[in-house]
């Protein structure tokens, strides 16, 4: 059974800067999810939808960017759903690093 992992990360960057950082750091995000290539992504306004394969499994998700935070949702297939808890913590940490004010 697939499992959705949702992470909400507050920020103080404003929507435009958060959007820029997510675009710039997306390759790192896909690597943290185990992606090795074949990443497709598309922005629709302030929503980034993406898909790629990891360990022979299809992963899809979306990032919603707002003025004061982002919401990342990743749909993990059966095999990877077993790692959902560990992955959620890692995404939270990496997302905070990406969006911290510098």
Q: How many domains does the chain have?
A: 1
74 with 4: CB under 8 angstroms? yes
Q: Domain containing 68: what range?
A: 3-99
- Which residues are CB-contacts of 8 (< 8 A; sequence separation ≥ 6)? 69, 70, 71, 72
Cα-to-chain-centroid distance, residue 81: 15
Dihedral of CA atoms 30, 34, 36, 37 in degrees, nearest 10, equals -40
Write the CATH number for 84. Answer: 3.30.530.20
Per-residue pLDDT of the chain (102 residues; tens, 9 = 90+): 678 999 999 999 999 999 999 998 877 766 666 655 678 899 999 999 999 877 777 889 999 999 999 999 999 887 777 778 888 888 888 889 889 877
65 with 18: CB under 8 angstroms? yes
55 with 30: CB under 8 angstroms? no
């Amino acid at each position: 059974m697939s499992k959705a992992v949702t992470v909400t990360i507050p920020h103080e960057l404003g929507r435009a800067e958060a959007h820029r950082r997510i675009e710039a750091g997306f390759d790192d995000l896909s690597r943290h999810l185990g992606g090795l290539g074949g990443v497709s992504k598309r922005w629709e306004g302030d929503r980034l939808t993406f898909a790629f394969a990891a360990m022979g499994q299809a992963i899809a998700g979306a990032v919603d960017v707002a003025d004061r935070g982002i919401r990342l949702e990743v749909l993990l297939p059966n095999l990877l759903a077993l790692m959902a808890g560990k992955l959620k913590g890692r995404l939270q940490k990496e997302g905070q690093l990406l969006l911290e004010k510098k």
